[in-house]
Structure 1
């Protein structure tokens, strides 16, 4: 006979999964989500405290240097003494101390409220190494925090000059979408950098489309956070006629479909007419009006005439943008590794990694 005491109004919990009360799976899922969120919050607090700690060290060194005229030799000696005093702690090499000074000089005010304080130290070093002015560093720090960029994605956007390309595409969002136009303008870049396609001069629209789909991960990275690829040559039936859109995406954060049309020449009024037609059809036949906002259309062309585009955009009530793309300059293409080279390097890395794992086992 069981001696288990059961509280009034409750059911005894048995070991078997079949005896669990209704709703247990939901309970477990919610608690696991809370634990995961707590770990993330704790990690962010620890990371911010570490960045503030590095900033305070850099501030102390800078103030003493300014007051007492210290040189770089003092930093080297300071590093050695710190590592002697704290042998089990890393991060106080002469190079790291110089980064801390640089951090404190770029952000002389308290670092805590700044976006950069929420980034990992590797991201912060990238900002310090790659950029020369405070506003540009703040732009990338803010975007990296907002979108959760990895360090590689941050480097990619810095190298391709995102701060110069974001929000400058010609569009009619102000006239066609009453709210949230700033976010939509940030969504579109000009030009898009398609270096990863390896396309040379004289490529066709089919070549461009195929290359983008073949490198869809890189393409999504260039488009930005939130884009999900829905299909290529996406079919639409209107009346008795069949049409195919070049590319269809869904933006998970903005809850909008995005139609992308590709042109290897100059953007023309008829291109925008067709794009507006596609977005209207997607709105009516694919979009869920209770969940999704109005569909966007983006025309990506090799060239554009600003006056022609502006007049064309005025002639439609569909939210459209016109932008351009660039591929890798001809003089740089020979410097790229071939697919065979990449495959060989990948194989060597995997073999080396696998060998290391075997030795550890």
Structure 2
């Protein structure tokens, strides 16, 4: 299902090399194990359900050191509720990793929402001795200029 076929070939040939902390976060992710077809129309909920149903495979795809904490984790600001799609902890990086699922193209609103999620985790969830939260927007495509 990945659009970056060359990167997929490189990963399948050489695997994931961990030379710096940023290398723990893979790009691209290969999600064929979900069973969702490339041409099939599906929702973010369908993708989330498929990932949770196959959590062992998704953890292996994420990379080394990831531990699953929750899905649709709720937090609130002044009676407004927000939900983080997927929450993981990486024991090697000693930080939370939160994932927001977007089935379409990346939009600037998605980046702002993710920044709010990351700020919340850094202020109210992580411990002082832990590293800053990492946010991943899992989307169909992105513009490098926008990111």
Change (3 A) 1:243 1:283: same
- 1:261 is aligned, of 88, 100, 114, to 100
Question: Of the two structures, which has the highest relative contact order with CA contacts closer than 8 Å and spacing of 6 or more?
Answer: 2
| TM-score, structure 1 as length reference | 0.36
Supply the distance in 2 between the matched residues of 1:266 and 1:158 (Cα, whole angstroms): 23
| TM-score, structure 2 as length reference | 0.85
Supply the distance in 1 between the matched residues of 2:13 and 2:99 (Cα, whole angstroms): 20
Change (3 A) 1:208 1:251: same
- Tell me the alpha carbon deviations over residues 241-265 of structure 1, each in whole angstroms, 9 at most, x when there is no partner: 2111000000011110011111111
Change (3 A) 1:269 1:184: farther
Partner residue in 1 for 2:115: 276
- Tell me the alpha carbon deviations over residues 338-361 of structure 1, each in whole angstroms, 9 at most, x when there is no partner: xxxxxxxxxxxxxxxxxxxxxxxx
For 2:116, what is the secondary structure of its paired residue?
Answer: helix
- The Cα shift of 1:299 comes to 0.7
- Tell me the alpha carbon deviations over residues 169-210 of structure 1, each in whole angstroms, 9 at most, x when there is no partner: xxxxxxxxxxxxx63320122210001001022111111011
Richer in strand (by share): 2
Runs of 4+ with >4 A deviation: 157-160, 162-167
- Tell me the alpha carbon deviations over residues 218-274 of structure 1, each in whole angstroms, 9 at most, x when there is no partner: 000000110000100011122322111000000011110011111111111110110
Number of residue pairs matched? Answer: 138
Aligned pairs for 1:144-183 within 5 A: 161=12, 163=14, 183=20
Richer in helix (by share): 1
Change (3 A) 1:165 1:273: farther
For 2:52, what is the secondary structure of its paired residue?
Answer: helix
Equivalent residues of 1:165, 1:190 under 8 A apart: no
Change (3 A) 1:238 1:202: same
Supply the distance in 2 between the matched residues of 1:165 and 1:307 (Cα, whole angstroms): 26
Partner residue in 2 for 1:199: 36
Unaligned 5+ residue runs, structure 2?
A: 1-7
Equivalent residues of 1:166, 1:190 under 8 A apart: no
Supply the distance in 2 between the matched residues of 1:158 and 1:226 (Cα, whole angstroms): 23
For 1:275, what is the secondary structure of its paired residue?
Answer: helix
